[in-house]
Structure 1
Amino acid sequence: MEIHSCAGNHGQETPAVTGALLCDPCIDRLERNLRALPGLHQEGLHHVLATGRRRNPTKVSGTRRRDHLNVSALDARSNIVAILESWAGYVADELGIPAPARAVPRLAGFLLQHLSWLKTQPPAADFAAEIQGLHVELLRVIDPELNERDPLTRRCVVDSCTGTINASPQNAGIAGKKSSISCSSGHSWEIREWLVLRHLMDRQNKEAA
């Protein structure tokens, strides 16, 4: 069987018979990122009006000050629409089909619908890289302390749980279901609880050290 190198340039291989230019791990990550974008885009709206960051999840304040715009949040939310629209336009033009409405859930859903075709096209690696970039950018809006060297997978914070937490939201963009962050053993948190969850994970790592 003929084997091709993954267009993601990370040493993985993909069977030529499938026609895919990306390996299975790249395709899985791309699909997860696309599903996560609508929920992250919505969550980013709550960060457009910037406030002082609360690192103590037990502290309760009477009034939250919202006194200036978070330009990074505005840019991230604008970028996601522009980039998804551009890729959706590419798919629509190449396949001769109507483009979806200019809304993140519709655009992401359209790209997911045509992912099997997209992964076989020459710009597949660029598409995966741009979607990954959007995912990281939106996570940074929600949690400004996140950087590329931070592992997005951490040990679950629930006592005695051996599962791991992945920062990519689940159920994002699925009608009738709330986006959430889950551990591999089944514990779940809403996206709005990410900062509290991140604080607990950081504290857990310091205690382990």
Structure 2
Amino acid sequence: MTFATLGGHETPRIEMAAAVGATHLRPNGLVSLISACFVVASSCASLHPDARLLGVHPLDEKFYAAEVIKCRDGSKSFTKDHLNDDFCDCIDGTDEPGTSACPAAKFYCRNVGSTPKFIYSSRVNDYFCDCCDGSDEYDGRLKCPNTCIMGGNVEYKAENYAAKTTILGVGNKEPKNGTNLDEMIQKLKGTPFSSHA
């Protein structure tokens, strides 16, 4: 068994390799791994600059900017550190827009590339992708693909596609030369078509 030094401590190379998922640990590889972790963490943080504002509509972000925030129903106030802490302080759910702690709360799906919407906060982290951007399943137990542009966008819905193709003249029209579909299929197969059979 060989030993390597990590953080000033000698550690068996096998344990370190298992910890980082490699069979051979090289100093360059460890630095690269740590760098990659920082890049991923910083890019995730840039998706939403303040994770406490998860589930908050952009127009409501100013409402949540104060250090002491009043429940929308006026019943009480809470400090900013109680926002999205997974404990329901306000009966109306004002303090938990991004968790499922309050039954009355609503979670805002940004759905960039599609139509934004509110969902009941009870659907947050419930192992079902309710938002097409996957933002409602943020705890990491379920990886939701971002399907906003693939099918959630108004531009790409089937009924809109059919309407656009009809407008553009590529809908379900019969060929203009008078041939019908059966004749076209027979021509492709190479057998003569007889409509007198």
For this structure pair, what is the TM-score category when the shorter chain's length is used for normalisation? under 0.3
Q: Which has the higher contact order (CA 8 A, sep 6+)?
A: 1
TM-score scaled to structure 1, two decimals?
Answer: 0.23
TM-score scaled to structure 2, two decimals?
Answer: 0.24
Compare the two structures and name the one with the higher helix fraction: 1
